[in-house]
Each structure stands twice: as structure tokens, then as C-alpha cells.
Amino acid sequence: MKFDLVKKILASVAACAMIASMTACSSKDTAVIGGADGPTEIVITDEESSADAVAENSAEESTEVSAEDTVDPDDISNYIPKPQAGDDDFYALFKTNDIDADYLETSKTATAAVAGIRAGNECAERWMAQVQISLDELDTLDASVAEEQRKSQENWEKTLDKKRDAAKENLTTQGSVQNIEMAFNVMLLYRERAAEVLYEVYKLNGEVNVTAGTGEAVG
């Protein structure tokens, strides 16, 4: 059975939040989930980001998660789904990308819900940037393919709000941790699109270079 990424991340955040709440407190924090029409700010109060709130909303998942503890925590393929674009050879190169690795590392050490949200938001922004980087690379490899992908990008952006709405309707959590899941789902939308463009580059030069935000702190 495929490992459930969201449940693992939420359980990790809940556990860390319990520890962090003993020594830290804050009245308010914010996170932003991006969309085609601009960012949407989510305000997280101390009540929503407290250990009790996170733990309560993650309690139902804890039993299922513990049964999967033997899964290698450093294998990204166990946590973040395989993109639809590309073949197995492409994915073997794609899955070593730094954006996924940074998201996983930040999520595993998150001490509050807002940190999980920020991890998703920041990685989504990096995937957005990667789309443009890869489109520019296509310009140097094959102008006709680049033009096709730029048109595809325009069409994708027109449907982004509908995709985000669909992701919101399929949320599996409640309370403040819903925002972690939503940020994760939005990140996957941008990641999937980036993978599509990266695959076009791969077909031309056999390389998968995910460079957006490399070396920058995340979370």
C-alpha cells in the first residue's frame, strides 16, 4: 500500500508541537497560499497553532502512521507522489531534486502548524520558478517545443483556480492542520506542472536539473 504522506507529516508536526509548546508561545502567525489571482493570507492564532489543536486534529491518523514506521524516512518516493509526467528513467533523476528534499526535511522537523504551511508555500514558489527556468532552457534547445510549452503554461494558469478548489474539496483533515494539507496540495499542483516542462527538457538533452532556490533556506 502506498505510504500516506500527509498523515505522516501531520503526525510529525503534532509530536513536535507538543514539545515546542512547553517552552514557546506566540499570539499570532501568518502563512500565505499562492494562487493564480495572488496570495491568500491565512492567520494562525496561538489557539490554532497550539500543540493541543494540532494533536487533536492529527490523533485519528496516529495509529495508521505508526504502522508504517519501517518506511525509509529519507526515501522521498515514500512521501511525495510520483508526477504523472515522464517515464521511469526520468523519475529516477527527478526524485533526487532538492525541492522535495528540503520540503521533507522541513516538514519532519516542524514544531508548529505554521512551519508546515510555510514549507509547502515556499516549495510551491520554487516549483513556480522552476517552470520558468525550464521554459527558458527549452528556448535554447528547441524553440518550437518551448512555444508549445508556453502555450500549455497559459492554459494551465487559466485552470489553476479550479484545480485549487478541487484540492480544497478533497482535504482529509480539519482545523489548523487543514492549512498544512492545503499548502501541500497546492505545492503538488506546481510540482506537477514543473515536472511536465522538465520532462520536455529531459527528452531533448537527457538531463533533469531542478535548480530553483537551491542553497536557500526553507521553512
pLDDT in tens, 173-210: 887 788 888 999 999 999 999 999 999 999 999 999 99
pLDDT value at position 108? 77
Give the residue, 3 or 155, on which the prediction is more confident: 155
Q: Decide if pLDDT at 170 tops 60.
A: yes
Q: What is the pTM of this model?
A: 0.73
Buried b (16+ CB within 10 A) or exposed e, 62-92: eeebeeeeeeeeeebebbbeebebbeeebbe
First to last CA, the chain: 30
